[in-house]
Amino acid sequence: MLHCSKESQLAGIVAEISEPARLLIRIFWPGPLALVFKAKPGLPDLITGPNNTTGIRMVAHPVACALISQLGSPLAGTSANLHAEPPTGDFSALNPGLLDRVDVALDVGVCGKGTASTVLDVSCSPPVLLREGAVRKQAIERLLGLSLAAPNS
């Protein structure tokens, strides 16, 4: 997952931004909605997934925003929990095994609400809900005026 601090950072990463994606960005970013886009050709394999896609989330935390802004480009990062473990917004509650696997972890205190972000694939039409989290499926469907597809449908 790539984390960005401003929408303009998408220009060097994504092939296109559909109108539904633009609406989602306007309403839900920054925040707990990750969007999966078709990647621009030439991006490293480390930041692209199946079908040449890449997941992007705009961070809301001021420390993360400042770090990404200072870097001048999005930052690749993982969730703050291991697979099948509940999410947490409290650094002190992180699994030590996770911390052993990363190069850098910043303790900025409690952040977020401990709810996973929603992941929505907007590289296709209709968009596909990959994981429902803090942003509810019904809210997205109401905003877009359409039903979201299920994975592998």
Which of 87, 70, 85 lies closest to 34 in space, CA to CA?
A: 87
Task: Give the whole-angstrom CA distance, residue 20 versus residue 17.
Answer: 8
Q: Which residues contact 74 (CB under 8 A, 6 or more apart)?
A: 2, 3, 4, 5, 9, 13, 56, 68
Task: Give the whole-angstrom CA distance, residue 122 versus residue 125.
Answer: 7
56-108: pLDDT as tens digits: 999 888 988 999 999 998 998 777 777 777 777 788 888 888 888 888 888 88
- Report pLDDT for 153: 57
Domains in the chain, number: 2
51 and 22 within one domain:
yes
Angle at 111 between CA 76 and CA 122, to 5 degrees: 45
Residue 39 belongs to what domain range? 2-79+117-143
124 and 60 within one domain:
yes
100-148: pLDDT as tens digits: 888 888 888 777 777 888 999 999 999 999 999 999 999 999 999 999 9
96 and 67 within one domain:
no
Would residue 151 count as lying in a domain?
A: no
